[in-house]
Structure 1
Amino acid sequence: MERIGIVGRGLAGLRVASELRAGGYENQIITWDSDPYPPYDRPALSKKMFGEYNHPLSADGLGDFTELGADSVPHPATRAWSEEGKWFVLSQNGVSEPLDVLVIATGSAPRAVIPGARVLYDVDDAEALRAAIKPGARIHIVGAGWIGTEIASAAAHQGAEVEMWEVTPSVLSRTFAGAVDDLWLSWMREAGVKVNLDSPYSGDRTGRDLLIQATGVQADVAFLDGGARSPHGSLVANLSGEVLEAESPTSAVVPGLYATGDCCDILLPNGQWRWGGHWTQALADAQRTVSAILELPRASQLDAPEVFSTQFGHEIGLVGEVPAGTSPTVEQTGESTIYRWMDHSGNLVALLGIDAPREVSRARKALRHKL
C-alpha cells in the first residue's frame, strides 16, 4: 500500500495514524479536516467548559500528526468515491491522488436547526459559549441529553439563570428512559436549573440572552459514496472496521473502505449492534481497524461502551448499554450511588456509578468481551 487516506483528524483519526506507524506502515498517510487546531479532546469542551477545556491529545501521548509524518489537507472532504479499485477524495484542494485504503473517522456533527441557536462542537463554539455565559445571563438550552445537562451544570455554576426544554418526558431519555430522573432533577433543582420536560421549545426570544441547541448529533458521512447505513444514519462496520456493502450489509464489505469512531455503528457477528458515539470506541477501535488493514493479529478483547461525565459536582460513569424495558437496582454507599441493570440470567449488562470510580472500574472489567 503506497497511500492511505484518513478523513477526520480527531481522536479516532489520530489513533488510526498512530497505530499505522506503530504497526510498521512507512508510506504516505494523508488526512483531511478543516479544524485549524491540533487534535484535542472534545469531551472536555462541555465537561470542563470553564476549566482546561482545550486539551491537546498529544499531551496524553495519543499521537501527533506532524511527528507521525502525515500530510494534512486543511479542508473537509466534500466527496469520496471508489474507482477501479482505488479511492479518491475531493476537497477544496482538488481531487486526491489514488488511495489504496480510505478510513472514515469524521465523527458526528451536532443537529442545528433552531434559528439563532448555538451548538457546542469545537473549540470556537466553546470559546463563544464561555464568553456569553456570565453571572445573571439568561441561558435557554434545548435538549436534556448528556451535552445539554453538562452545559446546564457549567452555566449554573457560573451564576447564569438556566432553563431547559426537552421534548421527551425524561432527562437523558435516550440512555436511561426515565430511570435516573429523580436523581438528575434533584441536582437541577438544587442548582437552580428550571427543566421543562415533555415540552418543545417555546421560542421565546425576549426572555433569553443565549440559546443553545443540544438535541443530539448525526454521523458526518454524507460526503461518502457507498457503504451501508445503520438505523441511526451512521456507517455500518464490522469488528475489523471494514465498512459493509449497502446491498448485503450482513456479509460483504466495501473493498479498501474502513470506518472508526463516532461515524460508525458496529454490526456484531451475532446480529446485534454496538452503537457508536462513545469516546472509548474512538480511542480503542483504531487498533482493530489497523490490524485488519495491515493484516496484523487482532486484539482479543472488546471493551463495553462507556460514557463519562462531570456535572452538578458529581463524577459520573456509565459502562455498558442500558437495556430497554428493564429497571435497575439502586445502591447507596456513603457518597456513592450505583445503578445496575441485569439480564434475565442475573448477569450485569450496564452500570451507572455516581462518585463511584471503583465500581465503574470493576464493571469495565466485568463487561469486557472476549473475541
Structure 2
Amino acid sequence: MESIVIAGGGLAAATVASELRERGYAGALTLISEEAELPYERPPLSKGFLQGKDDPASFTVHDGPWYERHDVALRLGVAAISIETASQQVLLADGSAVDYDQLVLATGSRASVGGQNPMPGYDLPGVHVLRTVADAKSLRAELTEGAQVAVIGSGWIGMEVAATARQRGARITVYSPSEVPLAKVFGERFGHYLLELHQRHGVDVRTARAQGIEQVDGHLQVLSDAGSSRADVVLLAIGARPNLQLAQTAGLEVGSGVVVDASLRSSNSKILAVGDIAQAFNTRLQRQLRVEHWDNAIRQAKLAAATLMGVEESYDWLPYFFTDQFDLGMEYVGHNSPDDASVVRGSIESGEFLLFWQDGQRITAAANVNIWDVNDTLRGLVGREIAADRLTDQAMELKDL
C-alpha cells in the first residue's frame, strides 16, 4: 500500500490529511512538524488569541483523538532536515527517516528578521516576531496596559497587531517605510483609509525606516531615519520568507516558492507543494502565483489530495483573504496590480463600502468593508469589464452588474 508523507504543521498540512481520508485513501499517512503543537490555524495569532479571547483549542485544526481515529501518524517536535529523492526518504533532525511514495511539502513561512543582513538588535529580549503560537504567547504576555509598543513594518501583520495591542491598552508606534501603509499593494485610497482608521484610535504611525534596535538603561530603543524612540516591546513585522530549505535539498525547481504546476506537482513528480511555499500555476490568471493566506491553504490542500488520488483538478480560483482591525472587517478577492485604479461604491467615510480595482474597465479585485454576504457576488464580478460609473451607481443592484 502506498505511503504518503506530509511535511508541515499548519492548516494546509492538516487539511491534506483529512481530505485524503475523506476521499478514501487507506494507505499509510504520516505528518511531520517541527512544532510540538498539533497543526493549527494562524490568523487568530494576530487577532483573537493576541487579544486574549481565543483559546488554542479553538483554532487547532483537529484534536489528538482525530489523528488516532484516522490512523495518521504524527511526528511532532522534530524538524525534517532533508529529502533523499533516490531512496524516497525524509530525514529528520533526530536521526530517523520516514519513507514516502508521495510527499507533500506544506512547510509554510517564517517571520523575516531582515534576510542575510538581519536588523541589528532583532534578538534582544523584548523584541518579537509573530509566526507561531509560541511567538504569540510571548508577545501577548507583554502587551499590557500602558506598555509602549513599537511595531516595525506596516503590512497586514504589523497593522493587525497594532490594532490588537491598542485595544489592550498599549501605546503604539508603527514605523512605516512608506507614507501610506499598504498603498503599494492596494493603492493610495484604501491605504489612506487604513492610516486614518489607526490614527483615530490613537496609533502613532510614523513614516520612518527603522535601522536597528538597541538596549539602553534597561529599555529598548528603536533607531530610525527619523530619530530614535523608547519602547518596552518591539514587534518586527517586516514580512515572511517561505521555508524552502527542505525543497532545495530535494533539488526541486524553486523561484519565489516551490514551482508547481496547476495540480501542485513539483519538478519531481513524487513531490507536491501547497500553501505559503507553493508558486503554483493559476489557470484562471494564467500565471505562477504564490499566496500566503488561510483560504489558499485550505483550497490547495484539497487540490493536493485530489491530485494524489488521481482526480484531475486544477488551481483555478481567485486569491481571497480577510482582515479585522478595530471596527474594520474586510474581505478581499482577486489579484490586483499596484497600478490598477480603485473605485469606491458607497461612502468610504461611513466605514461601509465596496472597493473595486480595475485595469481599464476589467475588474482585477474587489473588497467588501463592513458589508457582509456579498463576497461571492464580488468573486463573480472579478475578470469582467464594467464601467466605473456603473460600479459606483448604487441605484443598480450589485447582483445586476
1:160 maps to 170
Which of 245, 254, 258 aligns to 1:229? It is: 254
Q: Kindly provide the CA deviation profile for residues 147-191 of structure 1, in whole angstroms up to 9, marking residues without a partner as x.
A: 000000011111111001122343124532434222011111111
Q: Which moved more, 1:335-344 or 1:142-151?
A: 335-344
Aligned residue for 1:304, secondary structure, equals coil
2:352 maps to 336
2:395 maps to none
2:392 maps to none
Which of 85, 103, 107 aligns to 1:82? It is: 85
Q: 1:306 to 1:174 in 2, by over 3 A?
A: farther
Cα pair 2:180 2:192 within 8 Å, conserved: no
- In the TM superposition, residue 130 of structure 1 has moved relative to its aligned partner by 1.4
Aligned residue for 2:266, secondary structure, equals strand
For residues 168 and 208 of structure 1, the distance between their equivalents in structure 2, rounded to whole angstroms, comes to 21
For 1:77, give the aligned amino acid: A
Aligned residue for 1:358, secondary structure, equals coil
Aligned residue for 1:284, secondary structure, equals helix
For 2:35, give the aligned amino acid: D
1:186 maps to 196
1:251 maps to none
Percent of aligned pairs with the same amino acid: 24
For residues 64 and 362 of structure 1, the distance between their equivalents in structure 2, rounded to whole angstroms, comes to 35
Q: Kindly provide the CA deviation profile for residues 112-166 of structure 1, in whole angstroms up to 9, marking residues without a partner as x.
A: 2332221111111111111100111000111100000000001111111100112
- In the TM superposition, residue 271 of structure 1 has moved relative to its aligned partner by 4.9
Cα pair 2:13 2:106 within 8 Å, conserved: yes
2:263 maps to 240
Q: 1:199 to 1:178 in 2, by over 3 A?
A: farther
For residues 188 and 198 of structure 1, the distance between their equivalents in structure 2, rounded to whole angstroms, comes to 16
Alignment partner of 1:350 is 2:352: no
Q: 1:335 to 1:162 in 2, by over 3 A?
A: closer
Q: 1:119 to 1:178 in 2, by over 3 A?
A: same
For residues 191 and 79 of structure 1, the distance between their equivalents in structure 2, rounded to whole angstroms, comes to 47
Which of 69, 82, 88 aligns to 2:71? It is: 69
2:152 maps to 142
- In the TM superposition, residue 365 of structure 1 has moved relative to its aligned partner by 4.0
Rg larger in 1 or in 2?
2
For residues 184 and 10 of structure 2, the distance between their equivalents in structure 1, rounded to whole angstroms, comes to 25
- In the TM superposition, residue 66 of structure 1 has moved relative to its aligned partner by 3.0
For 1:187, give the aligned amino acid: L
2:59 maps to 56
Aligned length, in residue pairs: 352
Cα pair 1:14 1:65 within 8 Å, conserved: no
Aligned residue for 2:6, secondary structure, equals strand
For 1:290, give the aligned amino acid: A
Backbone CA RMSD of aligned residues: 2.3
Q: 1:276 to 1:53 in 2, by over 3 A?
A: farther
1:212 maps to 235
1:99 maps to 100
Q: 1:327 to 1:366 in 2, by over 3 A?
A: closer
For 2:10, give the aligned amino acid: G
Alignment partner of 1:176 is 2:179: no
- In the TM superposition, residue 332 of structure 1 has moved relative to its aligned partner by 2.3
- In the TM superposition, residue 17 of structure 1 has moved relative to its aligned partner by 0.8
Gaps of 5+ in 1: 245-253
Cα pair 2:364 2:383 within 8 Å, conserved: no
Gaps of 5+ in 2: 215-219, 222-229, 385-401
For 1:109, give the aligned amino acid: R
For residues 279 and 29 of structure 2, the distance between their equivalents in structure 1, rounded to whole angstroms, comes to 24
For residues 147 and 278 of structure 1, the distance between their equivalents in structure 2, rounded to whole angstroms, comes to 12
Cα pair 2:184 2:338 within 8 Å, conserved: no
Query: How do residues 30-41 of structure 1 correspond to structure 2 at under 5 angstroms?
Result: 30-41=30-41
Cα pair 1:165 1:201 within 8 Å, conserved: no
Q: 1:265 to 1:169 in 2, by over 3 A?
A: farther
Cα pair 1:170 1:198 within 8 Å, conserved: no
For residues 330 and 106 of structure 2, the distance between their equivalents in structure 1, rounded to whole angstroms, comes to 27
- In the TM superposition, residue 198 of structure 1 has moved relative to its aligned partner by 4.7
Cα pair 1:111 1:217 within 8 Å, conserved: yes
Q: Kindly provide the CA deviation profile for residues 297-341 of structure 1, in whole angstroms up to 9, marking residues without a partner as x.
A: 426x83311110110211111111122311201122564122101
2:391 maps to none
Cα pair 1:291 1:297 within 8 Å, conserved: yes
Cα pair 1:38 1:56 within 8 Å, conserved: no
